A and B are shown apart, each in its own frame.
Chain A
Amino acid sequence: MDRFAELLNRLSTCAERNGKLKLLSSYFREAPDPDRGLALAVLTDNLPVSFPMRRVLADLIPRRADPVLYKLSRDYVGDTAETVALIWKPEPRVRWNDLSLNAILTHFQSAKPKDMADILETALDNLDANGRFALLKFLGGALRVGVSARLAKTALAQAYGVDVGIIEEVWHALTPPYAALFTWLEGAGPKPDAGEAPFYRPVMLAHAIEDNDWQNFAPHEIAAEWKWDGIRVQIASTGTEAKLFSRQGDDISATFPEIIQAFAKTRGVLDGELLVRRDGAIQPFNQLQQRLNRKTVTAKMRAQYPAHVRLYDILYDDKTDVRALTFDARRQRLENWFTREQPAYADLSSLVPVESFEALRALWSTTRHEGIEGLMLKRRASPYLAGRPKGHWFKWKRAPLTMDCVLIYAQRGAGRRASLHSDFTFGCWKGAELVPVGKAYFGFTDAELKQLDKFIRENTVERFGPVRVVKPELVLEVAFDAVNASNRHKSGVAMRFPRIHRIRWDKPAQEADKLETLIGLIDKN
């Protein structure tokens, strides 16, 4: 457990990708079996057990902590597992000799549900603060240390000097704690049989277009498509089984069963944008958000937020790798593939004509359909290249919209910002009244946060629990991507992804924008 706890401890304060890879690689090389396999399982979201953490902790915490002190602590720390790990005063009545991750898990595996709290109590009594944190995170099934499944596999590949593609290829055939995989990587056994199942290939990413990029191509060399505001996905299917992957290679099939069903009988690997589409119209991103990060999905959710894939590229046409072909050749293949396979819940991303860059710019600046973020420009001659190669794909995003709003409420943040006011509610004028139009948590530097915090402390008019009502004097320039009509908000509008763009210390509050201006920006299809 010590090694795993130390790994987690170091990962939680390591911000750099390379640093994380280094920590993970040396852990995989050096940690004993089967603990390292269990760690790999939790990092790749393949933990076989599901532990009723919420229920067990609800039972356990009152036994060992005063409820008021627990709540104050939880509010400060911002994370339940960490709070319990830190607040816990070990009083071991039973000593466990073997404190490996595997040995600790064994205690839980054979236990009845009603005994879980007792076992967890003994486990926590046997561990130090880092060990308690690691165990709780492990049992919770989500470590939240900024390591995706793909990054864990990349680290494993680096640890043994193999290509991560090979790990992806054999991955589906493996089960935790991955003894066969480690045996093979250490050269002590055969390569696991990949079989037929679908797996992830690294995707091609675009750069934001810059002014001097335009001189490097002519209109006829470029294909343009709308940039849809969904999430990038890859669908890999073998004719008997399909899988849906995020851009990072995380398997999100379980969250979107209708897509899996629609593609199960098709053959190939495709690239596209996952969206919510209802009655033929693409819906705003916040509707897609309702479906993300769920392990299971109800029929109601499916009906309310139907998923849809807008396809724009093909990597494998059946079993043929077409990534080396040009965009134009792949596009032809994609169109043929789509006509042949006809999957439900999918369509093709249409090409926007590029007669001249002037005409394209006019189109780009005037089109404000729901879900369109801007344009994608792709070189017609480019192959499909993994990563973010320079000079091939460009994203051309529309500038965000901005409004001058007035700060009206502030609230302390959680976690790292618990000591400062970092949640801000702002409003626009409706006559002489300020109507709240949104809330922002980020978009400022730590120095600005401190200044804001000072302003709030000095201008508090009233307090309701953690919320402070602030004298309406400070203008915030708020940037946002779109405005939707909303009957959940008093203002009748909801900003999409608002963030504080600038603090206008100089601007009088009376000069902030009017609500009617904001209403005028609502996207109308």
Chain B
Amino acid sequence: MPPSPSWLHPNPNGLFCEPGGFYIDPARPVSRALITHGHSDHARSGHDAYLATSETVEVMKLRLGPNHNYQSTRYHETHNINGVTVRFIPAGHILGSAQILLEWQGQRIVASGDYKRSLDPTCAPFEPVACDVFITEATFALPVFCHEPADKEVARLIISIAQNPDRNHLLGVYGLGKAQRIIALLRQQGFTHTIWLHGALVELCKLYERLGVKLGDVRPVSEADAKTLKGELVLCPPSATHDRWAAKFGNAITSFASGWMRVRARARQRGAELPLIISDHADWPQLLQTIEDVEAPEIWVTHGREDALVHQLALMGRKARALALIGFEDEAE
């Protein structure tokens, strides 16, 4: 077996490409950062220079401020950074999300960031790329995590709304990606009704619209008189479903869309009366499928349940290594 590539390795700032002189999704401020996608544990402020897909750059302008040194790329465009060939490949996680393909001296490494393989009308689907080393997340790397088909879960939400004309539904969702994916899936299933938004989601939904993702009739809920709302769907950040803001919607049905909802104890912990098992991360079967698809003899495992995935990879005869990267929230969804 060839020795493990050592030209890409973790250091206290994050994942560092030595010959290229850049980091991927670094946790601390660095001179040059390649960013896989706009979630806050991957795209942080304070770097001197950023390279990301144009959609991710738009997200960063909104969240980190417009005055950073951003460079955008299209998917599949080739960049040469100090002799390292770099390409951004769709990861299917959220709008603009990318795997970063690095080639140097005949070796290929793919840093996949966060990814999924399931239906998402708001972003380009994951593309497997054959490589020598595949770096994978492990958020849902336990065999108990097998997400339900997202369209089936959205259909359950539509049924629940129809069955409860006197109660509002408060749906807690991650504001970047999950919210827009669920809205798009609702529209695909013919749900044309107004969807109300908590203030924290408004700008991100506008951004998606501007980048060409049609969301239909979505409005800030601050424009409505909360007391008169009945049988409506309101989207909000997960933390808002049980704070004082939520009280004005009366005896609402609290729902929550996340891969963690697969486990009943987690759904109860969230106080979700209608848990929806929808995730933007790969579940266990998708992780294993992807490892087959990329045909990499060596797999590096980052944030999440590294223990289970490293064990499984050994069973599959792959060389596996847990990268102890700091700064990624293992609860992130």
Give chain A's interface residues, CB within 8 Å of chain B: 12-15, 19, 65-66, 68-69, 72-73, 76-79, 82-83, 86-87, 129, 415-419, 446
Contacts and interface: CB of A to CB of B under 8 A. Distances in A.
Nearest to A87: B143
A15 B305 CA distance: 30
Top 7 closest A-B pairs, CB basis? Answer: A416-B265, A86-B144, A415-B265, A416-B269, A73-B144, A87-B143, A12-B264
A83 B330 CA distance: 21
Given A15-B271, A77-B265, A417-B269, 18 more contacts: A12-B267, A13-B268, A13-B273, A13-B274, A14-B273, A15-B273, A66-B315, A68-B311, A72-B142, A73-B143, A73-B308, A77-B263, A82-B144, A82-B264, A87-B143, A87-B144, A416-B265, A419-B331
Contacts of B273: 13-15, 19
Interface string B259-285: 000111111110111110000000000
A72 B266 contact: no
A400 B272 CA distance: 33
Contacts of B49: none
B8 interface: no
A129 B268 CA distance: 18
Interface in B243-263: 262-263
B45 interface: no
Given A12-B268, A77-B265, A416-B268, A83 B144 contact: yes
Contacts of A14: 273
Which of A15, A68, A69, A82 has most B Cβ within 10 Å?
A69
Contact of B307 (A72, A415, A419, A446): A72
Contact of A65 (B143, B272, B330): B143
17 contacts: A13-B268, A13-B273, A13-B274, A13-B275, A15-B268, A19-B273, A72-B142, A72-B307, A72-B308, A73-B143, A76-B142, A82-B144, A83-B144, A86-B262, A417-B269, A419-B330, A446-B269
B225 to A, nearest CB: 27
A69 B265 contact: no
Given A83-B144, A86-B263, A69 B311 contact: yes
A72 B269 CA distance: 20
Nearest to B263: A77
Interface size class of B (residues with CB under 8 A): 20 to 34
A78 to B, nearest CB: 6
Contacts, number: 68
Nearest to A78: B265
B263 A69 contact: no
A441 to B, nearest CB: 14
Contacts of A66: 311-312, 315
Nearest to B267: A13
Interface of B: 142-146, 262-269, 271-275, 305, 307-308, 311-312, 315, 330-331
Contact of A416 (B143, B266, B275, B315): B266
Contacts of B143: 65, 69, 73, 86-87
A13 B307 contact: no
Contacts of B266: 416
A65 B143 CA distance: 9
B143 to A, nearest CB: 5
Which of A65, A66, A76, A446 has most B Cβ within 10 Å?
A76
Contacts of B305: 72, 76
Contacts of A15: 268, 271, 273
A77 B144 contact: yes
A419 B140 CA distance: 13
A313 B305 CA distance: 57
A129 B263 CA distance: 11
Nearest to A12: B264
A69 B275 contact: no
B318 to A, nearest CB: 15
Nearest to A8: B264
Contacts of A86: 143-146, 262-263
Contacts of B272: 13
A241 to B, nearest CB: 39
Contacts of A13: 264, 267-268, 272-275
A69 B312 contact: yes
A19 B271 CA distance: 14
